[in-house]
Amino acid sequence: MPIFSEVTHKYLRTKKKFPNVWCAGCGIGIVLGAIIRAIDNLKLSRDEIVMISGIGCSSRMPVYVDFNTLHTTHGRPLAYATGVKLAKPALKVIIITGDGDALAIGGNHFIHACRRNIDLTTILVNNSTYGMTGGQVAPTTPFMKIGTTAPFGNRERGFDIAKLAMAAGAPFVARGTVYHVMQLQKLVEQAILKKGFSLVEVISQCPTLYGRLNKEGGAVDMMKWQRDHAIPISAAGKAPPEKLRDKFLTGVLWDIEFPEYCEEYDKVIAQSQGLYGEGGRVKGKERE
């Protein structure tokens, strides 16, 4: 079996855009590796995949991979992805986004993509800050944590991304961390195989801004925090309430079946073609 680096290397645009733009200690490279290994494990060809991102640290990911890729506008990757999937429903469309990109300017697209249930796989990297633009407070920044726009502490509660997605109608919701990398790879595989809208939230670290501003140490310290605060959902039911306090769940949090949008849209096309004849006339009478 090839080692991780060999598998990862064959899917990268190794002669372009390297070294990458990510800070030392950033978790986004770990996320990229998990996605690539998941794709390799599923035996998907490069031509079957479209990777689409918006704007942000994690959204630079499509620049580095040898797939069909789109690096789009801020908050809009799900809108672009919806168009790609409707035009070419056989493709595997993977969206890479961050907590700011997806939930602030892109929040409306996010909730409606969940509700619509088009067959898209969304990998949302949550580092609790706007990393690319200077460490501002994001929709996921915890209460009283420091950001460059909140030097006295954030007075808003951060979104629970998984609960938001479930409430909006997403049929598959999972959460992993960059510390639990093998679990993350498996979650990505399950998300890609899911028929319908799937979300994998990935808890990652930003030691350069969020970690420094909040005195949480370097990348190793922040990853140890992930290790110590993540509880597998399979174990959560057996744990006493005090053991779950200040912790977060990982694994597949929600998995249901619901009609997929592209398939439902095909039914609309078939019904309309059966109802309307050539020239747009209703069969047997003029359209009103």
Q: Do residue 279 and residue 201 come from a single domain?
A: no
For residues 252 and 281, membership in a common domain is answered with no
Q: Do 45 and 174 share a domain, yes or no?
A: yes
Q: Please state, in angstroms and rounded to a whole number, the distance separating the CA atoms of residues 131 and 163.
A: 23
What's the number of domains the chain is made of? Answer: 2
Residue 125: what residue type? V
Predicted TM-score (pTM) of this structure: 0.91
Residues 139 and 171 grouped into a single domain: yes
> Is 147 in the same domain as 286?
no
Residues 151 and 264 in one domain: no
Residue 206 sits in the same domain as residue 274: no
How far is residue 119 from each of residues 104, 126, 217, 218, 263, measured CA to CA in Å? 22, 22, 39, 37, 9
Verify that 279 and 188 share a domain, yes or no: no
- Written as tens digits, the pLDDT of the chain (288 aa) is 455 567 878 899 988 778 899 999 999 999 999 999 999 999 999 999 999 999 999 999 999 999 999 999 999 999 999 999 999 999 999 999 999 999 999 999 999 999 999 999 999 999 999 999 999 999 999 999 999 999 999 999 999 999 999 999 999 999 999 999 999 999 999 999 999 999 999 999 999 999 999 999 999 999 999 999 999 999 888 888 878 889 999 999 999 999 999 999 998 888 888 766 555 555 554 433
Does residue 282 share a domain with residue 247?
no
Are 128 and 265 found together in one domain?
Answer: no
The range of the structural domain enclosing residue 169 comes to 4-257
Same domain, 169 and 273: no
SS3 207: helix
